[in-house]
Amino acid sequence: MAPKDATNERGQFSSRFGFITAATGSAVGLGNIWGFPTQTASHGGGAFVLVYLVLAFLLAYPALMAELIIGRHTRHNMVGALPQLTTKPVLKIIGRATGLYGVVIASLILSFYAIVASWLMAQVPAALADISGQGQTASWLSQSSLLRDSLFCGLFSLLTASIVARGVKDGIERWSTRLMPALVLLMLALVATVLTLPGAMEGLRLYLVPNFSLITDPGLLTGAMGQAFFSLSLGVGTMLIYGSYVSKTDNLPLTGAYVALIDTGIAFLAGLLIIPAMFVAQHRGIEIYSSENTLIAGPDLILQTLPSLFNSLGSAGVIIGLVFFLLLTIAALTSSISMLEVPVTFVLEQFQLSRYRATWLVASIIFGLSLLILNNFEQLFAGVISLTTTYSQPLLGVMLCVFAGWVLHRDKLLREISAGFAGAENSLFWKIWPSYIRFICPLLIIFMFVQNARS
Ligand code: PHE
């Protein structure tokens, strides 16, 4: 039966804390715990960390603000929001098309994200089966197969949909405030454990000491930019829709800064866990360099190298593995609910369906897409990831900056920022951000794009 509050009435976060946990829940995901450390590993360690930190604040934070401001100003999903910023028919059409593109990309991101999440989620019962001596079940659960992946992908999609169906306050906010503190605690416990193991310090050095000769590598710049956009959930309207649920009494630039800070802080913490863990593994005789002599990254790192490390640590290792995969599952879930919220609010607001129906309808379609990818893995998986994250997210980011900087009238912009932020017109934010979002952000993104295409 549909929950009581899951009608198509517009929701709102109950407090600033509620918004911050939901938005950081969206931002902190596999991008932080998996993507950031593996990109750091494949781009030579500290140099990538440094460039990432700079880009997160110079590029991603201003773009995040563009989305939050448009969202709170229009109180709409991206498809309804962008046309509302203008009276010009052509711009309305462009706004609508951009919004629709965002909805499609958010759905496609969820379709591959749920697959990756299913690989990680299956490791949790695998560890439990291992602990209780069910060797055969444990090995079935820990190895990828079409059946296992489809089942767990279905389970993950079901979990995601059942939270989103309950609405903004009772679903998204409630579960984010439960899961995010658990995530931070689990992460701190793991970092503290790994850093005491032999070999960890070597990893720490690689992670923290930048090799400046790598900073000019064009792959490093675009990698860091894509990572920053993905990590802050930008471009596809997730932050826009979360912004639309924020109260007019909240100080948006400050709240947005908290979200960016926490997201970056957790990515940094994940690096403190994974890179040293790799060197602990090496210390125990596990191969951590690939045949091209670069550190192993991607699925092999998370699903082979680290599990070999956990196995080599005996029964303590099984518990560490369990905690690690639980952490990844929680991170994935608080992000996937924000992805699903994008197409759900679109359907709900444009077609006047109830939230309950919209959620189950959209979640079933996206699960169908995940099954399609799973059944044509070689042909589709990598392609969908690069189409959505490498190309579409930054491009949509440019469009959102243009809409916030050029289309939304300056007076309205100031009025929106001033709500909840007394004296906004004299603030540093107002002095810098509007021209920043008009010129620097779009140009920087386009510049990096062109660099990437040429390399
Ligand atoms: N930010 C999430 C992560 O780091 C991914 C995400 C992308 C979430 C786009 C929502 C929208 O894993």
* pLDDT tens-digit readout, 326-367: 999 999 999 999 999 999 999 999 998 999 999 999 999 999
Predicted confidence at residue 455, as pLDDT, reads 64
What is the residue with the minimal CA distance to atom 10 of ligand 1?
233
Tell me how far the alpha carbon of residue 370 lies from the centroid of ligand 1, in angstroms: 17
Any idea which residue has 């629709």 for tokens?
100
Q: Per the domain annotation, does 6 fall within a domain?
A: no
Flag whether pLDDT at 3 surpasses 60. no
Tell me how far the alpha carbon of residue 230 lies from the centroid of ligand 1, in angstroms: 5
Give me the number of domains the chain comprises. 1
Please report, rounded to a whole number, the percentage of residues in the chain having pLDDT higher than 70: 97
Predicted confidence at residue 217, as pLDDT, reads 77
pTM: 0.93
What is the residue with the minimal CA distance to atom 6 of ligand 1?
233
CATH of the domain at 292: 1.10.4160.10
Predicted confidence at residue 346, as pLDDT, reads 96
Residues whose beta carbon lies within 6 Å of some atom of ligand 1: 26-27, 29-32, 109, 230-231, 233, 236, 238, 335, 338-339
Q: Per the domain annotation, does 232 fall within a domain?
A: yes
Q: Per the domain annotation, does 7 fall within a domain?
A: no
Contact 51, 215 (CB under 8 A): yes
Confidence label for 249 from pLDDT (cuts 50, 70 and 90): very high
* pLDDT tens-digit readout, 196-239: 999 999 999 989 888 778 777 767 888 888 899 999 999 999 99
Q: What backbone torsions phi and psi does residue 197 show, to the nearest 5 degrees?
A: -85, 150
Contact 116, 301 (CB under 8 A): no
* pLDDT tens-digit readout, 129-168: 999 999 999 999 999 999 999 999 999 999 999 999 999 9
Distance CA 207, CA 45 (A): 5
Q: What is the mean pLDDT of residues 101-128?
A: 97
Flag whether pLDDT at 2 surpasses 50. no
Predicted confidence at residue 8, as pLDDT, reads 45
Tell me how far the alpha carbon of residue 109 lies from the centroid of ligand 1, in angstroms: 8
What is the residue with the minimal CA distance to atom 9 of ligand 1?
233
Tell me how far the alpha carbon of residue 195 lies from the centroid of ligand 1, in angstroms: 27
Mutate which of 39, 262, 330, 339 for ligand 1? The one with the most ligand atoms within 8 Å of its CB, which is 339
Q: Crossing angle of helices 410-418/428-435, nearest 10°? A: 140
What average pLDDT does the structure give for the chain? 92
Q: How many residues does the chain have?
A: 455
* pLDDT tens-digit readout, 389-427: 888 998 999 999 999 999 999 999 999 999 999 999 999
Tell me how far the alpha carbon of residue 383 lies from the centroid of ligand 1, in angstroms: 18
Tell me how far the alpha carbon of residue 238 lies from the centroid of ligand 1, in angstroms: 9
Q: What is the mean pLDDT of residues 169-176?
A: 93
Mutate which of 230, 241, 340, 396 for ligand 1? The one with the most ligand atoms within 8 Å of its CB, which is 230
Flag whether pLDDT at 109 surpasses 70. yes
Tell me how far the alpha carbon of residue 56 lies from the centroid of ligand 1, in angstroms: 14
What is the residue with the minimal CA distance to atom 11 of ligand 1?
233
Spatial CB neighbours of 355, under 8 Å, sequence gap ≥ 6: 2, 6, 7, 8, 164, 165, 167, 344, 348
Q: Per the domain annotation, does 174 fall within a domain?
A: yes
Confidence label for 256 from pLDDT (cuts 50, 70 and 90): very high
What is the residue with the minimal CA distance to atom 8 of ligand 1?
233
For residue 31, what are the domain limits? 16-454
Q: Per the domain annotation, does 308 fall within a domain?
A: yes
Tell me how far the alpha carbon of residue 378 lies from the centroid of ligand 1, in angstroms: 23
Predicted confidence at residue 9, as pLDDT, reads 60
* pLDDT tens-digit readout, 40-69: 887 878 889 999 999 999 889 999 999 999
Confidence label for 4 from pLDDT (cuts 50, 70 and 90): very low
